[in-house]
DNA sequence: TGCCAATAGTTGACTAAATCAACTATATAG
DNA sequence: CTATATAGTTGATTTAGTCAACTATTGGCA
């Protein structure tokens, strides 16, 4: 049916529109993050390190899907800045355990606070009701888009 | 009130979670686009060129917020690949009008088709009802997030 | 008219992000 | 004991993106 087809292409267009819309927003978010001394990827690594007490580069890699050379350099940078501490694994000399230092945790907290603030600034523009609506729709999108992988 | 405060931080966390979620998705989208011979920014420029019959670099610049050197090089690349045709403005020799060539239009169509396909693949995983829901929520988010700038 | 500021676009130099492949060292399976 | 796999490092290179200096042209205005 003609009408059905139109509906479908409309939906596709709506999804694409949203993608464009959000990539633009992400650009903003990106620059926001860059007002800290971390790149977006570094921020993710930092977050991951904060979330897990003790990890290895390989664990990070599989979680964040990063090139190993790339990650190795990021970690080297973190170590140079004394954000992480490295301990060697007893049973396996190939692996190194990574942990945030106090300084690392503080850096993470700062980053976290910034992100918090950014999210809050989005919400602040809305009425209570709209805030609820926004959060609900975001959750819905996540649910719908993860239901069957992607 | 304690309870109120909890709600607020929950909302903030939900927004942040969504941001992370969607940036990851966008990463995928990014690489998707890179299976074409265009970067994300090049794709946007191409799209803009396709949407407006005849533009100038400055018009593109103000629309897409790009560095002028950066844009200049992108356009030079497009010209080298015969994707755009340049005509000089009669009344103002500083400006050049930019138009897609046939090849440029075909490149844009291909890009468009890929994006279309990508959006369709997201929708395909959902039931009719969920497709409707997804589209509706995306529209809601856009509306809420643009209502008062950002 | 003649000069000055603004505008359009180009170019060179540079930094940061990201990828690839080659390499070292260790561990494990047969 | 050797093969193969795994953990991580390093060098070389590509791409993205920014900044500032530069040329050429236009338009205002004294």
CA B9 to C1' C6, whole Å: 49
Whether residue A36 contacts residue A111, with contact meaning beta carbons closer than 8 Å, is answered with yes
Set of chain B residues whose Cβ sits within 8 Å of the Cβ of A138: 14-15, 17-18, 137, 141
In whole angstroms, what is the distance from residue A64 CA to residue A51 CA? 13
Is the pLDDT at A11 greater than 90? The verdict is yes
Residue B20, pLDDT score? 84
CA B70 to C1' D18, whole Å: 8
Q: How far is B32 from chain A (nearest CA, A)?
A: 13
Q: Which bases of strand C sit closer than 7 A to a protein CB?
A: 7-13, 16-22, 25-28
Q: Give the pLDDT band of residue B150 (cuts 50, 70, 90).
A: very low
Most confident of A2-6, A146-150, B1-5, B83-87: B83-87
Write b or e for each residue in A55-85: b if 16 or more Cβ atoms lie within 10 A of its Cβ, otherwise e.
bbbeebbeeeebeeeebeebbeebbeeebbe
Residue A2, pLDDT score? 54
Pairing outcome for strands B84-88 and A96-100: unpaired
Lowest mean pLDDT among A20-29, B99-108, B114-123: A20-29
Judge whether A145 is closer than 8 Å to chain B, CB to CB: yes
* Mean pLDDT score across all residues of chain A: 88
In whole angstroms, what is the distance from residue A142 CA to residue A137 CA? 9
pTM of structure: 0.84
Residue B149, pLDDT score? 46
Percent of chain A with pLDDT over 70: 87
How much is the average pLDDT of A115-129?
91
Tokens matching residue A10:
């409309």
Q: Give the pLDDT band of residue A150 (cuts 50, 70, 90).
A: very low
> What does the pLDDT look like over B56-78, one tens digit per residue?
999 999 999 999 999 999 999 99
In whole angstroms, what is the distance from residue B55 CA to residue B87 CA? 10
Tokens matching residue B106:
């075909």
Residues of chain B numbered 55-114 and touching chain A (CB < 8 Å): none
Lowest mean pLDDT among A17-21, A98-102, A141-145: A17-21
> What does the pLDDT look like over A48-106, one tens digit per residue?
999 998 999 999 999 999 999 999 999 999 999 999 999 988 889 999 999 999 999 99
Give the burial class of B116: count Cβ atoms within 10 A of its Cβ; 0-12 exposed, 13-18 middle, 19 or more buried.
middle
Residue A31, pLDDT score? 66
For A12, the closest of B8, B116, B144 (CB atoms) is: B116
For A29, the closest of B19, B115, B116 (CB atoms) is: B19
For B95-125, the DSSP string reads -EEEEE-HHHHHHHHHHHHHHHHHHHHHHHT
For B123, the closest of A15, A17, A137 (CB atoms) is: A15
Residue B30, pLDDT score? 67
How much is the average pLDDT of A109-137?
92
Q: Give the pLDDT band of residue B31 (cuts 50, 70, 90).
A: low
How much is the average pLDDT of B26-37?
69
Q: Give the pLDDT band of residue A37 (cuts 50, 70, 90).
A: confident
Residue A27, pLDDT score? 66
């Amino acid at each position: 049916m003609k009408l059905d087809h139109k509906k479908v292409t409309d939906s596709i267009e709506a999804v694409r529109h949203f993608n464009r819309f959000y990539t633009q927003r992400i650009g903003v978010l990106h620059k926001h993050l860059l007002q800290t001394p971390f790149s977006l990827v570094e921020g993710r690594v930092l977050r991951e390190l904060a979330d897990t007490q003790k990890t290895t580069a390989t664990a990070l890699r599989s979680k964040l899907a990063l090139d190993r050379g790339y990650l190795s350099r990021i970690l080297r940078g973190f170590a140079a800045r004394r954000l992480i501490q490295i301990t060697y694994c007893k049973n396996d000399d190939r692996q190194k355990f990574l942990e945030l230092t106090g300084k690392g945790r503080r850096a993470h907290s700062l980053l976290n606070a910034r992100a918090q603030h950014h999210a809050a600034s989005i919400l602040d523009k809305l009425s209570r009701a709209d805030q609820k609506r926004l959060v609900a729709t975001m959750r819905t999108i996540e649910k719908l888009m993860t239901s069957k992988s992607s």
